[in-house]
């Protein structure tokens, strides 16, 4: 039986993750995006996949998760996946965070990687949980930060491609084994990455 997925996301990253998932031995039951003109929603429609627009851009309730979902995958969403939505999915949900969690939890992880002068950046596939960016880790990878590199350059050069690859690897692994890895985060190393003033 193919792993059944509801994908929640947006923009270029969401559309690229959808393309990755379509190439795997999984079934995308539904795509959820924040707007009718969002790149992810348009890509889903082009692939003739069921797609809906979120009722509330800040929340995804159980009603927006397809019946029979095994795993919720998030790809560039700022919406909270509600507890009842996670409970509807057999294996819960995973997302990609562009930092080596528990470092730089928050909306501006890449910006804080640069602001903090980190020589090493990374990405984490983590379990969606009650606390934002605090769920167990399913996979991680790292990269060097180039001298003088800005947040956008780092994201486009290394962290976005890393996220697409890691999400694909984790989903393929779950599809093959039925097991979703879970390594608890070490709270003593947690830092926050709140939105920076413009």
3-178: CATH topology = Rossmann fold (3.40.50)
What CA–CA distance (Å, rounded) separates 183 from 180? 10
Each residue's pLDDT tens digit, 93-113? 999 999 999 999 999 999 999
Total Cβ atoms within 10 A of residue 52: 16
* Cβ atoms of 87 and 175 closer than 8 Å: no
Residue 97's closest CA among 74, 120, 116? 74
For residue 24, pLDDT over 90 is answered with yes
For residue 1, pLDDT over 90 is answered with no
Structure tokens at 80: 């909270």
Band (11; pLDDT cuts 50, 70, 90): very high
Q: Which residue has the tokens 């060097």?
A: 144
**Residue ranges per domain, the chain?**
3-178
* Cβ atoms of 14 and 41 closer than 8 Å: no
Give the C-alpha distances (Å, rounded to integers) separating 87 from 63, 175, 183: 12, 19, 20
Q: List the beta bridge partners of residue 164.
A: none
Band (198; pLDDT cuts 50, 70, 90): confident
pLDDT at position 138 is 98
Indicate whether this model's pTM tops 0.95: yes
What CA–CA distance (Å, rounded) separates 167 from 19? 12
Each residue's pLDDT tens digit, 135-176? 999 999 999 999 999 999 999 999 999 999 999 999 999 999
Each residue's pLDDT tens digit, 40-85? 999 999 999 999 999 998 999 999 999 999 999 999 998 999 999 9
pLDDT at position 114 is 98
The pLDDT of 112-136, averaged and rounded, is 97
Q: What are phi and psi of 41, to 5 degrees?
A: -60, -45
Q: Which residue has the tokens 């700022």?
A: 78
pLDDT at position 128 is 98
More confident site: 1 or 118: 118
């Amino acid at each position: 039986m193919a792993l059944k997925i509801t994908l929640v996301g947006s923009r270029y990253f969401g559309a690229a993750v959808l393309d990755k998932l379509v190439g795997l031995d999984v079934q995308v039951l539904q795509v959820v995006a924040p707007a009718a003109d969002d790149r992810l929603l348009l890509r889903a429609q082009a692939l003739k996949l069921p797609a809906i627009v979120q009722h509330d851009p800040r929340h995804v309730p159980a009603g927006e998760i397809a019946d029979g979902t095994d795993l919720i995958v998030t790809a560039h969403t700022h919406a909270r996946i509600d507890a009842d939505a996670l409970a509807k999915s057999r294996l819960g949900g995973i997302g990609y965070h562009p930092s080596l969690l528990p470092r730089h939890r928050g909306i501006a992880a890449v910006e804080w990687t640069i602001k903090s002068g980190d020589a090493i950046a990374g990405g984490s596939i983590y379990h969606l949980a009650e606390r934002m960016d605090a769920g167990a880790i399913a996979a991680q990878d790292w990269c060097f930060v180039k001298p003088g590199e800005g947040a956008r350059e780092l994201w486009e050069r290394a962290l976005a491609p890393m996220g697409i690859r890691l999400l694909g690897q984790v989903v393929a692994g779950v599809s093959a084994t039925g097991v979703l890895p879970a390594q608890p985060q070490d709270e003593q190393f947690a830092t926050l990455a709140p939105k920076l003033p413009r």
